[in-house]
Structure 1
Amino acid sequence: MKIKGLALLSLALAIALAIFAFVTAGRLPEGAMLPTHWNAAGEVDRTSPALQALLMPPALILFITGIFAVIPRIEPLQDKLEGSAPVLRASWIGLLFLMTLLALTIGLPAYGVNIPVKTVLVGTGVLLMAIGNALPKSRPGFFVGVRTPWAIIDTDNWIATHRLAGKLMMLAGLGVVVAGFLPLDAEVTATVLIAVFAIMVIVPYVYSWLHWERKKRASSNGSAD
C-alpha cells in the first residue's frame, strides 16, 4: 500500500492548521479560553487555553498519520493488505477532513464566523458512511475491519461479515447525520448514538461467530457422511 502521497498531504495540512492556530490565537485576548469538548447536545463542557485548543487538531493529524504510516509496516498478513487499502484510505482521508472541520469550528469564531458544533457530528456520520462503503472490499488483517478470530482465519467469513458490517456502518452513519440535524437534548442524542454504535459493533461480531458455527457444523456433517 502506497502512503507517501497521503502522508505528505497530512503533513501539509498539519502545518497549515498550526499556522492557523498561531495566527488565530494572536487575535484573541490574553488568557482567552476556547472549547475543546462538547456534550451530545453540542453544549460546551470543557475549555482550554486558546493556543492549546487550536493546536489540538494538527497534533491529532500527526498522531493519526503516524498510526496509518505504521500499519502497513507491521501488518502480519502482508499479502492481504492491498485489499484493505480502500478502507485505510477512506479512514485516513475522512479523519483529516474531520480534524480540519474541528479546527475551523474551534477557531473561526475568532473571525466572527460560527460553525454549529453539530456539524462535526454530521461529519462523523459522513465518515462512517464512507468507511462502511469501503469495508466490504477489505480482506483479513489484524489492524483493519471487524477483527473477529473467526473472520481472520477464514476469508469467506471475513467477506460475509464485512458485507453486513459495511451496511450497518452506513446506516449508523446516516443515523448520526440525522441526529446531528435534529434538535435533540443531550440525553436523547447520547442514547441514540450509544444504540447506533452498539448495533454497529455487536451485530457483525455475533454474525461472524454464527457463520463460523454454521460452517463447522456443515463440515462435521460432511465428514460424518
Structure 2
Amino acid sequence: MKRRFIVVCLAALLLGLGMVAVFYAELPARIPIHWNGSGQVDRWGERHLVLLPSAFVLGLAALWLALPKLSPRRFAVESFEDTWWFSGMAVVCLLAYLQCVHLWAAREPGFAVDRAIVGGLGLFFVLTGNVMGKLRRNFWLGVRTPWTLANERVWYATHRLAGKTMVVGGLLSLAVVLAGLPSPAAVALLVGAALVPVAFSLVYYKRLERAGTLEA
C-alpha cells in the first residue's frame, strides 16, 4: 500500500504539472485565487500560483511518508497501515482535483468553481468516512480531541460515528450540488458532519467519567 501511495503521488504531481503546461499560456496574467461562499472571486494573484497545489502534493507526500516514523510507540500507525496510506491517497487526489478546478476556473471565468469544490469535498468525505472506523489512536489522522486521545473506548465510538456522519454528509452535499441548490447548504452539511463527532467525543467521555467506567 505504501508503494501504491507513492505511485498515486507521482501520478497526481504529473497530472497537475501536465495540466499547467497545457493551459499556462492561455491563462491571463492575473487569475482568481479565492472565492467567497457565493462563488464570487474576492482575491486575485499572479498566474504562476496555479503551481502551488503541485508544491502541496510534493510536501504532503514527504510528510505522509515521514509521520509514521515520528509517532510514539503507543500511537504508531502500523496497526492501521492500509488505512493510513489510503487516506493519504485520498488527500493527494483531492489536491490534484482542486488544482484542475483552479486551472479551469482561471481559464473559464464563468465556471461554477464553488460547486465543483464542494462536490469534490463531498466525494472525499464519502471515501474517507468509509475507513474512519479502522483508525486507531494516533496524533496525525482522525478526530483527535483531548477525549479521544485520552481513552480508547471514546476513540473507537467517536470514529464509528464519524464514519457515518462523513458518509451521510458527503452524499447529501453531493446531492445538493447535483440538484443545483445553493452551495452554502452543502458546505453546512460537510461542516456539521465534521463537528458532530467532535461534540460527541466530549459528551461520551463525560458520560463514561460519571459512570466510573473510563479506562486508559
State the TM-score, normalized to the length of structure 1.
0.77
Aligned residues with identical type, % of pairs: 27
Q: RMSD value over aligned CA atoms?
A: 3.0
Pairing 1:171–2:164 present: no
For 2:201 and 2:101, how far apart are their aligned partners in 1?
A: 39
Residue identity matched to 2:13:
A
Provide the residue aligned with 2:35 in structure 1. 38
Selected match of 1:193 from 164, 187, 190: 187
Provide the residue aligned with 2:150 in structure 1. 153
TM-aligned CA deviation for residue 105 of structure 1? 2.5
Provide the residue aligned with 1:130 in structure 2. 127
Greater shift, 57-66 or 37-46, is seen at: 37-46
Selected match of 1:81 from 69, 74, 77: 77
The answer to whether the 8 A contact 1:83-1:137 is kept is: no
Q: What is the correspondence of 1:54-65 to structure 2 with a 5 Å cutoff?
A: 54-65=50-61
Going from structure 1 to structure 2, the CA distance change for 1:22 and 1:49 (only over 3 Å counts) comes to: farther
Pairing 1:219–2:212 present: yes
Selected match of 2:198 from 200, 205, 211: 205
Give the greater-gyration-radius structure (CA).
1
Going from structure 1 to structure 2, the CA distance change for 1:110 and 1:147 (only over 3 Å counts) comes to: closer
- Give the SS at the match of 2:42: strand
Residue identity matched to 2:62:
G
Provide the residue aligned with 2:21 in structure 1. 22
Equivalent residue pairs, number: 212
For 1:146 and 1:77, how far apart are their aligned partners in 2?
A: 19
TM-aligned CA deviation for residue 184 of structure 1? 4.3
The answer to whether the 8 A contact 1:98-1:123 is kept is: yes
Note the residue ranges of structure 2 that are not aligned, 5 or more in a row. Answer: none
